A = this chain, B = another copy of it.
């Protein structure tokens, strides 16, 4: 009987410890979900926005405008871009330059004539004015970045044709 009581007591303590652990982990999760913005996806800071219907993108890309700067107050436009796996831009260049800030997934950035650079969350890409380049997702991973078009008074992007499947494959190979 004393053995049973001891066993029973141990069992109660174990349950108590587990309960407190569940409470602790749930607290972290809730904070985290809240912290990341109470979105229905815990890993999204922004909504996906509009699906891009442009001849200058390959596969599915979503853009949410964050700062349109219609009055030219900031001379800068800001947007969030979600590339689905293998989606990418055409070759293009910005007369005023562009800055990318990677927030999620895995992607690539390549300047014409150079090897591609792998991009992961926290990476920043400075694209000087008039440098011909493309950016997009890894073949099997989504890729999300904040984009900033700087000195937009210098004019809109110029486009130089698709990144072919051969160019894409060669860029992402073994990375």
Give the B-binding residues of A (Cβ under 8 A). 4, 7-8, 11-12, 14-15, 18-19, 21-22, 25-26, 28-29, 32, 35-39, 42-43, 45-47, 66-67, 73-76, 78, 96-97, 99, 101, 103-105, 120-122, 124, 126, 128-129, 146, 148, 150-151
Contact = CB atoms under 8 A, between A and B. Distances in A.
A124 B15 contact: no
Nearest to A25: B25
Nearest to A124: B66
A97 to B, nearest CB: 5
A67 B148 CA distance: 12
B126 A39 contact: no
Contacts of A4: 4, 8
A148 B151 contact: no
A46 B39 CA distance: 20
B78 A101 contact: yes
Copies of this chain, complex-wide, total 2
The SS class assigned to the A binding surface is mixed
A22 B18 contact: yes
Nearest to A37: B121
Contacts of A12: 11
B8 A66 contact: no
A103 B8 contact: no
B45 A122 contact: yes
A15 B97 CA distance: 56
A10 B60 CA distance: 45
Contacts of A120: 37-38
Given A74-B97, A126-B67, A32 B38 contact: no
